[in-house]
Structure 1
Amino acid sequence: MSFNTALSSVQALGRGFDATSDIRLLYCKGLPGSRLVEVDEEHTRDVEVFEGISVPFVSKDIKCLQGESSRSHTGVLNFHQMAEHFNQPFSLSGKIPLGNFNAMFNFSGSWQADRASTKSLAVDGVSIALYTFRLTKFPLILCEDVKRAVPLNMGAYSFSKFPEKIILPRAIGLYLEYKPPIEELRYFLEFQVPRAWAPLPSQVPGQQRKEPICPSLQFSLMGPKLYICTFQVSVGRRLVTGLRLGLEGKKCNRLVIQLQHLTSLPKILRPYWDAHIPIGPPKWQGPEEQDSRWFEPVKWKNFSHVSTAPVENSETWIGDLSGVYIVTGAQLGVWDFGQKSVLHLRLLYSKVPGCTIRRSVWDHTPSPIMSCASSSNQGSMKSDSLASANSGSESTVQIGKFAKIVDLMEITRGPHDMPGHWMVSGAKLGVQRGKIVLRVKYSLLNY
């Protein structure tokens, strides 16, 4: 056992490691002896580790040193302080946790969720090193095959062609922070472009009216009316990655729907969805007005209801080779049945030819970043969401009566949701604990 460990230690030198994974000897990357840096393998000697245990054919560039004992004591630190402490020995700045940090504390690797569930951390222990193998050749020189693998073009596609050999400086920050699977790396990087919410306040008609001219809902006999903005939101050929409900207007009494989208089209989708490629007209789709099975009251059954029917495109199937339909627009509407008016949702679908659906899932949870903020300060979270929705106002928006009836949480998927290239393919309204909520269906595509 001691001989095998010593031999593995020698063979691991120069092979490198993945900073997002456990860095113990068992998790060393590559095959034994397949190094990233040049080591003199011609001039070797046998190195005695202990009495009776020696490792043969050890390069003269590798030296064996006697081990030492050391104590590590950090005191009590918060999550990011401890992550920064673990990053220092690797000469990496920042507070994003690495793989050895996650392995030490048995964390999941999703640092947003781990941080939200962790109050404080501490390390106090003694480590005893029996021996140390170390490369003594400096400066270190990359092997020729590694140099040839580095492309001149630093784009995402060229980066993904050699993930097992070296990490490009351009993407190392994203890779360390989100730890995407190697096989998904190309798609992950393509989707890391800025995101924006639509529509802008200036695009919505009647933004500054005190009493909006639009249909309304009422949830009790003497209660105030919630007006519904029926403006059609469309983002064209941009990928939608999230939805949210918001309250706008001077009285914060107008319900709107907003879409989060990528501000530019990923290169991987340009052969299928660029502006010059014909895809046919987009199609609006929504629930049937007569189907009362999906009608749910928000407060009382004699007042306004919500249609909870899921809105999905009936022409899109997993594995369908003719193309897929994804969401590129949304609209709220009201069916007028007197006091029992029904709020419903319509979605605009656009075709992406040449692609197929790999996987779809309904997401009932808000984004992790929003969840973390909510768990730390629920009241502040609601206020921030409301102020975000009413971005046309310069003053801070106060929580209104309808914030207790409408869930303002964002439902989004981004780089923290592996594999990091989800897009919206469906949605539905719902009622939960007396609140109007939004549920979103996400899909992954095969390109």
Structure 2
Amino acid sequence: MCGRFNQAAAIDGKMPLGLFNNMFSFHGPWQTDQNATKALALDGWFVKLYNLQLTRTPLNLRDEIRKAIPASWEPKALASFIEKYGTHIITSLQVGGKDVIYVKQLQNSPCSNVEVLKRMETMAERRFTGQSGGYSTPRERPGKDKIMDAFSPTSTAARLKLPTSSTSYSKEGIEIYQWRRGGNDMMDSHHRWLATVPETPDVIAMTFVPISSLISGIPGNGYLSHAVNLYMRYKPPIEELQNFLEFQLPTQWSPSLAELALGPRRKEPVCPVMQFSLMGPKLYVSTNQVLVGRRPVTGLRLYLEGVKCNRLAIHLQHLTTLPRILQPHWDTHVSIGKPVWKAPEEHDARWLEPVQWKGFSHLNTAAIEFNETWFGEQNDAHIVTGAQLQLSDGGMKNVLCLKLQFSRVPKCSIRRSVWDNTPAISQKSGLFSQLGFSGKQQQQKAPPPFNPNSAVCNKGPKAQPLKLLKFVDITEMKKGPQDMPGHWLVTGAKLDVDGGKISLRVKYSLLHY
């Protein structure tokens, strides 16, 4: 569906943009919208009166625009360019009117494609022919070519603020949007609205040329193209674009796999042991400190280390370099004082929870966080730069605790904080499925989502890890560009018991720089 929209707008690829997102009410990152959507469909009337088209070829950018392209990766300048000049150039306009029904079926919808099709046809008959609503004008159903002529995805539609009349409703995981453009919006029936289109037409379709296709040979063209692609893929608010681009840096987990011994050792390290039942398996706990220095932490995970994958460890995901926006506050020449370690009280009964049985190993589920400095206050913010697991000596009823190291970020404050225990979504290919309007519908079982988690090697020993995975949730807890506005940092965490498993909850914050 998205590819057809783009084709009609003379745009290559299947990246959803502009009117496509607006008509189907897609407001989040591409991947989030894709995972939440099961099928899309539309039906409508498109009245084309005339076209307006640029005839000058080839297209060239003005010197003012060419000189405004940053020659290096400068998020502030790139965000300013996109905000001022946009991402595409309009090459033609189609003027007339349209009255369209857009249908979006969510993944949680229990309805089949046939049921969705019937609902859309019923609504179309009611809206366009008046058989159920009192309209008297018969309707000739438009063909596919007629529908195709009206597709007009554009990232500049919101800028033009074209007048639009819309209604929507949702039921059983099916969202239906009714849009009119052109004509008199006050007309209560479709055939009366049609008669007003020639008097008050509007833009109903556009074609475009990406600015990135016109900057070949200009220094910095690759940086601008990359910034535009990120902006269109994840759709951050324009006011957050600079901070969003600042954090689009490579990430890595510490310790890295290269630092872990994957082969047999002469002697395994001595580690404290957790046990969850009398005859159950033993889980060793690595108490090594994981420190990342002045590199912002964006995620945490529990990891099963060792040849037998029976040693629990904590890992941190962090940016490999320091974003420019943080350099004045956190570069190596800036004094930030000594990092501070924080840990819960080991024997505070309010936070002790057994993993399985009360007579065996427990968790301390107290939240570890620093006293926040909110925007407008004079103190500095503190973010996580290290982590460590500790196991108190209590025999079979020992307690697992999480310690966090906090480092000061001078002259910064917390804008917003959230606690989250939702795992990061997995990467998938493709975009949106389309409704198949054939006579028979086959219910296809959705393939399991691809999980890029590397916490347990797939080719490792199977018997022991399977036992321990009953007690440890190794889901990667992290935030990235797909989590709006895309520049979250870890400022706290806690251990938790979820379904008899040791799990993590993480606190993320946005900073005011």
Alignment TM-score > 0.5, same fold: yes
Change in Cα spacing, 1:116 to 1:152, as seen in structure 2 (3 Å) is: closer
Tell me the residue number matched to 1:325: 382
More displaced, 419-428 or 250-259? 250-259
Q: Against the structure 1 CA distance between its residues 254 and 183, is the aligned structure 2 distance closer, same or farther, given a 3 Å change threshold?
A: same
Q: Residues 94 and 244 of structure 1: is their aligned pair in 2 closer, same or farther, counting only changes over 3 Å? A: farther
Q: Work out the CA distance in 2 between the residues paired with 1:405 and 1:85.
A: 47
Residues 111 and 202 (structure 1), Cα distance of their counterparts in 2 relative to 1, 3 Å cut = closer
Q: In the aligned structure 2, how far is the partner of 1:361 from the partner of 1:286?
A: 20
In structure 2, distance between residues paired with 1:173 and 1:362: 29
Separation (CA, whole Å) in 2 of partners of 1:207 and 1:199? 16
TM-score (norm 2): 0.64
**Aligned match for 1:350, one of 387, 407, 411:** 407
Larger RCO (alpha carbons 8 Å, 6+ apart): 2
Match of 1:115 among 11, 30, 34: 34
CA contact (8 A) 1:427 1:438 kept: yes
How far apart are 1:115 and its partner, in Å? Answer: 1.8
Report the secondary structure of 1:214's partner residue. Answer: coil
Rate the CA distance shift 1:415–1:352 in 2: closer, same or farther, 3 A: same
Residue identity opposite 1:441 in structure 2: K
Task: Please report how far the alpha carbon of residue 146 of structure 1 lies from its aligned counterpart in structure 2 after TM superposition.
Answer: 4.3
Q: Give the C-alpha shift of residue 332 in structure 1.
A: 0.7
SS, match of residue 414 in structure 2: strand
Residue 88 of structure 1: aligned partner: 7
Q: 1:238 aligned to 288, 295, 298, which one? A: 295
* 1:360-379 Cα distance to aligned partner (Å, 9 max, x none): 1111211122799xx95569
| Shift of residue 88, structure 1, vs aligned partner | 2.6
Rounded to whole Å, the distance in 2 between the matches of 1:233 and 1:312 is: 17
- Taking the TM superposition and a 5 Å limit, the aligned residue runs for 1:50-69 are none
Name the structure 2 match of 1:400. 466
Distance 1:396 1:135, change over 3 A: farther
Look up the equivalent residue of 2:301 and give its one-letter code.
Answer: R
In structure 1, give the amino acid aligned to 2:413: T
In structure 2, C-alpha distance between the alignment counterparts of 1:110 and 1:152, rounded to whole Å: 27
Q: 1:181 aligns with which of 237, 251, 276?
A: 237
| Identity value in percent | 53
Residue ranges of structure 2 left out of the alignment (5+ in a row): 88-223, 430-444
Secondary structure at the counterpart of residue 164 of structure 1? helix
1:166 is displaced (CA, Å) by 3.6
Question: Is residue 2:251 matched to residue 1:195?
Answer: yes
Q: Are 1:427 and 2:484 an aligned pair? A: no
Summarize deviations over 1:289-325 as a string: whole Å, max 9, x none. Answer: 1312100111111111111000001364554333211
Does the Cα contact within 8 Å between 2:27 and 2:235 map onto a contact in 1? Answer: no
Q: TM-score, normalised by structure 1?
A: 0.73
- The answer to whether the Cα contact below 8 Å between 2:5 and 2:20 also exists between their aligned partners in 1 is yes
Match status 1:158 vs 2:69: no
Counting only pairs closer than 5 Å after superposition, residues 33-432 of structure 1 correspond to structure 2 as 82-122=1-41, 127-142=46-61, 146=65, 149-151=68-70, 155-162=74-81, 163-167=83-87, 168-203=224-259, 208-209=264-265, 212-314=269-371, 316-369=373-426, 381=451, 385=453, 388-390=454-456, 395=460, 399-432=465-498
Per-residue deviation, 1:175? 0.8
TM-aligned CA deviation for residue 128 of structure 1: 2.8
> Separation in 1 of the partners of 2:344 and 2:420?
20
Cα 1:99–1:148 change in 2 (3 A) is: same
RMSD between aligned residues: 2.8
Whole-angstrom distance in 2 between the partners of 1:247 and 1:135: 61
Deviations 1:370-417 (A, max 9, x none): 799xx9556974xx63xx1246x9658675111121111111111111
Once residues 243 and 207 of structure 1 are traced to their aligned partners in structure 2, the CA distance between those partners, rounded to angstroms, is: 25
Q: Which amino acid aligns with 2:85?
A: K
